[in-house]
Amino acid sequence: MALRGTSRTGLLYAGAVVGAVALGLAGTGGSSGDDEHGGGHHHDRARNVIFIQGDGMGIAHRELIRLATLGKDGQLAMDSLRFAGWTHTDSVDPEEAVTDSAAGATAFATGVRTYNGAIGVDADGHPVPTLLEHARDLGKATGLVTTAQVTDATPAAFGAHVPDRGDHSEIARQYIEESRPDVILGGGEDWWFPAGDPGAWPDHPDEDATEESRSTHGNLVEQAQHKGYEYVSTAEELKKADGDRLLGLFANQEMFQQANEGEGDVYAPPVPLMDMAAKALDVLSEDRDGFFLLIEEEAIDEMAHNSNTALTIKSGQALDETVAMVLDFAKHHRGTLVLVVGDHETGGLAIENVDAEDESGEGQSAEDGPFPLAGSDLEFTVDWTSGAHTGAATPLTAEGPHAVELARSQPNTAVFDVLLEAMRGH
């Protein structure tokens, strides 16, 4: 078979194979993907594509989660996927050198680099088709699952086109009228109900008095129901739901509260990420042509912004448990491509010995910890060098049809090329 390059990167397939071998292909014993379920053949069609994102998750975050939960000899489910590479995260923002989540997700979703704050549009503000929309046009079912607001940057970039990520109600309107994902699960009910109509989640809750309904397009939940969506707002309702189009909003805003460590923070989504993802898989897998599903754990980013190591670990563990469930699904559904990646790195995270010199500062900037290293008597500290995003590349692991093409150093836009090619079967 002739060697060939990707449409945007110019990197040869041969380079991908070399990159895969160089990265060790965790757990494969050097296999090139010949088994029945986990192969990475570049010529196979992906019936199902499951795009899993840990928002703000860099390589140090993955190592933090591993060391704190499994120890030095452990392996995360997200690190067990056959092929590994990394993505550059640069946006083309004219004023900022480091990307935000909107530009990062738009690059994954559309294959186009754009400015910070842009959702599904190029640098000139023109709409660009997304992977979710391509999947829909191929006859596949589609879904968005997140612990953030369902209209937040990452899910929005796959299902909407607006020049400003803050236009949440317009994003919601586009979901139900234009991109039409079959499953939408997460937080952000405030953007679906107009002022004065609190919906299922009361305005001004004790944990955050600023939360209140504020839709600019009327009652969008009611509009969604008129278009055939079954609406649920609790874990029990989600469990009982049996419709083939499902809208679930389980919080006013994000499905967790975030704060500096020790300041009343908590990570306890009313519906766990794994439960939402499992329900989405149940619904979407009924489609005879397969599906595209985005799954996002937002709390890794939010906790890293607040230098909150304990809840970065906890939310990362929830993500990894979800990945394990997804991999079990893929094992039993041939032709499923699974990808785990971060859109950018948050916090400039460094893992250090307890006795290392603390050069980071005081208060929130002081080193965090110590934390136990699982399975040992050792401890480590965490140094957050920033409260913002950094320009670091993010690790990517993948398994399934075309996964081998992701085993390289690549711009984030190249992920779009590979996934679209995988769905088309080229």
Which amino acid, residue 190? D
pLDDT digits 0-9 by tens, 197-229: 999 999 999 989 999 999 999 999 999 999 999
Residue 101 catalytic?
yes
276 confidence band (pLDDT: 50, 70, 90): very high
pLDDT at site 7: 35
Between CA 245 and CA 229 the distance in angstroms is 5
| CA-wise closest residue to 119 among 166, 175, 189 | 166
Judged against a pLDDT cut of 70, whether residue 25 lies above it is answered with: no
Evaluated on CA atoms 99, 105, 109, 114, the torsion sign reads: negative
Is residue 301 part of an annotated ligand binding site?
yes
How buried is residue 366: exposed, middle or buried, by Cβ count under 10 Å (0-12/13-18/19+)? middle
| CA-wise closest residue to 160 among 205, 120, 210 | 120
pLDDT digits 0-9 by tens, 79-90: 999 999 999 999
Phi-psi region of 99 (alpha: psi -120 to 50; beta: other; left: phi over 0): beta
To 5 degrees, how large is the angle CA 177–CA 178–CA 181? 90
Between CA 170 and CA 76 the distance in angstroms is 38
Q: Which residues are CB-neighbours of 246 under 8 A, at least 6 positions away? A: 182, 183, 184, 185, 229, 230, 232, 279, 280, 283
Is residue 332 part of an annotated ligand binding site?
no
36 confidence band (pLDDT: 50, 70, 90): very low
pLDDT digits 0-9 by tens, 165-174: 999 999 999 9
pLDDT at site 326: 98
Is residue 164 part of an annotated ligand binding site?
no
Is residue 154 part of an annotated ligand binding site?
yes
Is residue 152 part of an annotated ligand binding site?
yes
In the structure encoding, which two tokens stand for residue 176, read together? 């139900």
pLDDT at site 3: 31
Phi-psi region of 171 (alpha: psi -120 to 50; beta: other; left: phi over 0): alpha
- At the top level of CATH, the class of 13-27+38-349+394-424 is alpha beta
Catalytic residue among 31, 32, 91, 101: 101
Is residue 297 part of an annotated ligand binding site?
no
The pair phi, psi for residue 283, each rounded to 5°, is -75, -50
Question: What is the model's pTM?
Answer: 0.90
* Boundaries of every domain in the chain: 13-27+38-349+394-424
Q: At what angle do helices 59-69 and 309-331 cross, to 10 degrees?
A: 90
pLDDT at site 5: 33
